[in-house]
Amino acid sequence: MTNTLIIGAGPAGLAIAGQLAHRNLPFTVLEASEYIGIAWRNHYDRLHLHTVKEHSALPHFPYPAEYPTYVSRLQVVEYLERYAEHFSIRPHFNQNVVSIRQNDAGTWQVQTRTDTFEAERVVVATGYNRIPNVPELPGQRNFRGIIWHSRDYRNGAAFRDENVLVVGMGNTGAEVALDLLEHGARPFISVRRPINIVRREVFGRPAQPTAIFLSKFPNWFYDFMARLSQRLTVGDVSAYGLGKPTHAPSYDTRRGVIPVIDIGTLDQIKAGAIKVVPAIQQINAKTVTFADGRELPFDAIILATGYRPGMASILGEPLSEQVLNERGYPKALWFDRPDLRGLYFLGFTTPLTGIIYNLNIDSAKIANHISAQLPKQPDSKNITARP
């Protein structure tokens, strides 16, 4: 039996492993794939962090000085590997977890496809984007072109001179559309509801440090300032088919709705290079009919429809009903109940201040909570912390 079992070797799993290693606390990491940071390895080519490197490193290990302000996908992968090496994090690979159950003795049993692990506590760090959300669009089986989920998209080179419909304008959809344009395609984005957009840089300065500063104030003030900044830098985009959001981006973020961090897509929409169309009514053999009655030809469709955490099947009933909200995300980092003691969740919040920035805060909270549950060391002066 292990003390602390961490499920996932992405940024969240590595963050809590680094926190525990820093405190000289033992742990075991399980990873479903063969690699550390598998999601970052499989993202589209042009992806960079939308947050600055100073606020996007994992605990106790900054990015190399030579890295740019916005770190690239491959640099993130390299950094995650360095992080694991620095803290001697050696995951058990190819351990795809299929169930998490609590034993009568109060410990946790984690079953993978090949092995069974028992632990005093479990940190679920599988991420909010574990399972691709692939909707069945009306008539899509009639379509004669390509239909991909964004997980299969690498770059727009294959779509030069083609009409490509991107379904959904989250951060992925916005960036995929921009990438398609830069590779010579003719991108369209299908938008069903008003989009909250935030510029990655405001008046030439990264927006994230300001968001971190404003997050320390009451929500009403944060929302007021976020709305004011949006009005000054983004403006009213309803004329471009993007609607008019009811709430400030900071308000939506607290509800789990991530705003689009714009890196150039909006300007291309305003210039007419990227077209915005409404919701899909029907997919035909070579065309798509939209809610406003327009029918346009397309060669390919990219589903930028996001991901789901997919934890209900792993946790089972009634555990999932107790710890997950209506969207399938954990309600808290942990639960102070005897029947849930030792079960933690990390990496499922999406604040405007930055996902990885928040991992530092939440992983520290979890590590401190774990430390507080352990018997006191008789002589703490003999314990040497890791760097």
> 168-200: per-residue pLDDT in tens?
999 999 999 999 999 999 999 999 999 999 999
Does residue 48 share a domain with residue 113? yes
Does residue 160 share a domain with residue 99? no
Q: Single out the residue in 303, 333, 364 at which a domain terminates.
A: 303
| Chain position carrying tokens 């933690």 | 344
Residue of 232, 220, 239, 259 lying closest to 355 (CA atoms): 259
What pLDDT is recorded for position 378? 53
Q: Is 227 inside a domain boundary?
A: yes
Q: Kindly write down the DSSP assignment for every residue of 109-166, as one continuous string.
A: EEEESS-EEEEEEEEE---TTSEE-----TTGGG--SEEEEGGG---GGGGTT-EEEE
Does residue 209 share a domain with residue 69? no
The tokens describing 372, both together, are: 């507080």
Does residue 105 share a domain with residue 27? yes
Question: Total domain count for the chain?
Answer: 2
Does residue 154 share a domain with residue 119? no
Residue 383 has pLDDT above 50, yes or no: no
| Mean pLDDT along residues 236-248 | 92
Residue 386 has pLDDT above 70, yes or no: no
Q: Domain of residue 58: give its range.
A: 4-130+309-373
Question: Distance (Å, rounded) from C-alpha 73 to C-alpha 148?
Answer: 21
* Integer CA distances (angstroms), 236 to 194, 197, 241, in order: 11, 10, 10
> 26-66: per-residue pLDDT in tens?
999 999 999 999 999 999 999 999 999 999 999 999 999 99
Does residue 337 share a domain with residue 280? no
At residue 257 the predicted structure's pLDDT band, cuts being 50, 70 and 90, is: confident
How many residues are listed for the chain in this entry?
A: 387
> 350-381: per-residue pLDDT in tens?
777 888 999 999 999 999 999 998 877 554 44
Q: Is 236 inside a domain boundary?
A: yes
Q: Single out the residue in 303, 320, 345 at which a domain terminates.
A: 303
Q: What residues contact residue 220 under an 8 Å CB cut-off, 6+ apart?
A: none
Q: Is 209 inside a domain boundary?
A: yes
> 90-142: per-residue pLDDT in tens?
999 999 999 999 988 889 999 999 999 999 999 999 987 788 999 999 999 99
Angle at 125 between CA 136 and CA 39, to 5 degrees: 55
Q: Is 384 inside a domain boundary?
A: no
Q: Is 385 inside a domain boundary?
A: no
Q: Is 232 inside a domain boundary?
A: yes
Does residue 293 share a domain with residue 214? yes
Q: Single out the residue in 303, 337, 362 at which a domain terminates.
A: 303
Q: Parallel, antiparallel, or unpaired: how do β-strands 97-102 and 108-112 relate?
A: antiparallel
What pLDDT is recorded for position 105? 82
Are the beta carbons of 108 and 261 closer than 8 angstroms? no
Residue 387 has pLDDT above 70, yes or no: no
Does residue 297 share a domain with residue 367? no
Does residue 291 share a domain with residue 247? yes
In CATH, what number is assigned to the domain containing residue 24?
A: 3.50.50.60
Q: Is 383 inside a domain boundary?
A: no
Q: Kindly write down the DSSP assignment for every residue of 51-68, as one continuous string.
A: S-GGGSSPTT-PPPTTS-
| Mean pLDDT along residues 314-326 | 90
| Mean pLDDT along residues 150-174 | 96
Q: What is the mean pLDDT of the chain?
A: 92
> 117-128: per-residue pLDDT in tens?
999 999 999 987
Q: Is 337 inside a domain boundary?
A: yes
| Mean pLDDT along residues 309-331 | 89
What pLDDT is recorded for position 43? 92
Does residue 238 share a domain with residue 212? yes
